[in-house]
């Protein structure tokens, strides 16, 4: 990631007086898998070299040779975001096929990763030396949603207010139940794997942007992070863009799933901006309880209970999801997203998350992991 961008002070959250929508952007990370074995293939450099035009410009090198990241342009609405996602996935899939690999939207390495060396960049080598075997875990892939919040002081406050709802977003995106060809019992094994990194997890509460910056400097001095780009908290003011970046989710299996998550995240950000402007106090929840709620979300997904951080008690996941929808419906309506998001939530309620779908396919095919990967590859570019 590049250096910090000095943000302007304008706030663009839509209100009755200012209907300008909050802008959106999405980063999606994908695995490149061997079609025959399902193993991760170290061909990302060749894939990026095969991409052309806008797709090449919108691709990024990642921490594993088996990963490619595709980054959408800034979009004002979900329709255009969807068009970008479709085009980038299809371009990356064609480039993968050209070098003998399948592009698969899955949150964690499902079979195995034989080649775990880092790309030949100084920063990656520094991370490898500092963090040792943690830096050589099998690849994991996320979906990062950027919402335009150019006032950085406001962005820090938004992250504070998002804390109680991010486990719900995490559960909705769960798409990595497999590891080493077997079901881990977790809906998001990616979340479990990432807990080994010292700078990943729930976003702490900060009193101000100055407090945030001072804490990051202290963590860099302590050796927990190499630089500010290693702030991998589940929500953060982006180090590169004038946005709030929500990075809690697994990469979604389909474009429609990604559009759903992006729309919900934008509505959440708009909702908490309303709360901040109205002087609503930030919910103060103990860090250990927030961490517990994220663990439960990674374990159960939407097929069990989630921890309601407003009460500290577990509840059926879909009851809490319904509360989230009720909370953000005014913001969805202002953005013109209400009907689309409600339809997509109903679809997800019927079909299940990516983790649920993978388990269904696996059970129907005698625990054959290759049937799951065939299913995922088809969904990635459907």
Q: Under a CB-based contact definition with an 8 Å cutoff, are residues 273 and 11 in contact?
A: yes
Residue 178's nearest CA partner among 369, 352, 3 is: 369
Q: Under a CB-based contact definition with an 8 Å cutoff, are residues 28 and 89 in contact?
A: yes
Please tell me the pTM assigned to this model: 0.94
Domain membership of residue 3 (yes or no) is no
- Domain assignment of residue 40, given as a range: 24-380
In this structure, what CATH number is given to the domain that contains residue 329?
3.30.590.20
Q: CA torsion 28→29→34→40, rounded to 10°? A: -170
Domain membership of residue 10 (yes or no) is no
Instruction: Encode 129-189 in three state secondary structure.
Output: HHHHHHHHCCCECEEEEEEECCCHHHHHHHHHHHCCCHHHHHHHCCCECEECCEECCCCEH
Domain membership of residue 300 (yes or no) is yes
Query: Per the structure, how many domains does the chain have?
Result: 1
Alpha-carbon distance 144 to 17, whole Å?
30
Domain membership of residue 304 (yes or no) is yes
Q: Under a CB-based contact definition with an 8 Å cutoff, are residues 107 and 28 in contact?
A: no
Alpha-carbon distance 308 to 22, whole Å?
27
Mention every residue, 6+ apart, whose C-beta is less than 8 A from residue 207.
none
Q: In sequence order, what DSSP letters do the residues of 244-301 get, joined into one string? A: EEEEEEEPPSSHHHHHHHHHHHHHHHHHHHHHHHTTPPPP---HHHHHHHHHHHHHHT
Burial class (CB in 10 A: 0-12, 13-18, 19+), 86: middle
Domain membership of residue 6 (yes or no) is no
Domain membership of residue 16 (yes or no) is no
Domain membership of residue 153 (yes or no) is yes
Residue 317's nearest CA partner among 174, 158, 143, 140 is: 174
Which tokens belong to 65?
Answer: 């040779």
Per-residue pLDDT tens, the chain, 382 aa: give them.
333 333 333 334 444 445 578 999 999 999 999 999 999 999 999 999 999 999 999 999 999 999 999 999 999 999 999 999 999 999 999 999 999 999 999 999 999 999 999 999 999 999 999 999 999 999 999 999 999 999 999 999 999 999 999 999 999 999 999 999 999 999 999 999 999 999 999 999 999 999 999 999 999 999 999 999 999 999 999 988 999 999 999 999 999 999 999 999 999 999 999 999 999 999 889 999 999 999 999 999 999 999 999 999 999 999 999 999 999 999 999 999 999 999 999 999 999 999 999 999 999 999 999 999 999 999 999 8
Domain membership of residue 193 (yes or no) is yes
Q: Any idea how long the chain is?
A: 382
């Amino acid at each position: 990631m590049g250096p910090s961008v000095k943000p302007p002070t304008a706030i663009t959250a839509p209100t009755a007086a200012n209907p300008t929508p909050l802008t959106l952007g999405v980063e999606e990370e994908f695995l490149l898998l061997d079609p025959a074995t399902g193993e991760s293939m170290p061909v990302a450099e060749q894939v990026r070299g095969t991409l052309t035009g806008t797709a090449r410009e919108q691709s990024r090198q990642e921490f594993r040779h088996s990963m490619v990241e595709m980054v959408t342009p800034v979009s004002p609405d979900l329709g255009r975001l969807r068009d970008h996602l479709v085009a980038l996935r299809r371009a990356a899939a064609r480039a993968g096929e050209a070098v003998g690999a399948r592009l698969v939207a899955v949150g964690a390495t499902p079979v195995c990763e034989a080649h775990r060396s880092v790309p030949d960049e100084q920063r990656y080598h520094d991370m490898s030396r500092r963090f040792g075997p943690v830096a050589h875990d099998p690849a994991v892939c996320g979906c990062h949603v950027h919402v335009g919040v150019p006032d950085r002081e406001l962005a820090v406050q938004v992250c504070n207010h998002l804390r109680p709802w991010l486990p719900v977003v995490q559960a909705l995106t769960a798409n990595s139940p497999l590891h080493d060809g077997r079901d881990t019992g977790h809906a998001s094994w990616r979340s479990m794997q990432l807990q080994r990194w010292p700078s990943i997890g729930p976003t702490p509460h900060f009193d101000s942007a100055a407090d945030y910056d001072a804490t990051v400097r202290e963590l860099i001095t302590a050796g927990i992070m190499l630089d500010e780009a290693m702030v991998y908290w589940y929500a953060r003011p982006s180090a590169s863009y004038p946005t709030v970046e929500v990075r809690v989710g697994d990469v979604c299996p389909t474009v429609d799933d990604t559009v759903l998550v992006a729309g919900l995240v934008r509505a959440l950000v708009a909702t908490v901006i309303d709360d901040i402007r109205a002087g609503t106090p930030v919910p103060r929840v103990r860090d250990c309880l927030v961490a517990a709620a994220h663990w439960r979300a990674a374990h159960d997904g939407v097929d069990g209970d989630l921890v309601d951080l407003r009460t500290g008690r577990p509840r059926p996941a879909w009851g809490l999801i319904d509360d989230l929808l009720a909370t953000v419906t005014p913001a969805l309506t202002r953005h013109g997203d209400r009907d689309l998001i409600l339809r997509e939530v109903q679809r997800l309620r019927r079909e299940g998350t990516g983790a649920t779908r993978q388990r269904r396919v696996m059970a129907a095919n005698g625990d054959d992991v290759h049937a799951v990967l065939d299913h995922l590859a088809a969904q990635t570019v459907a």
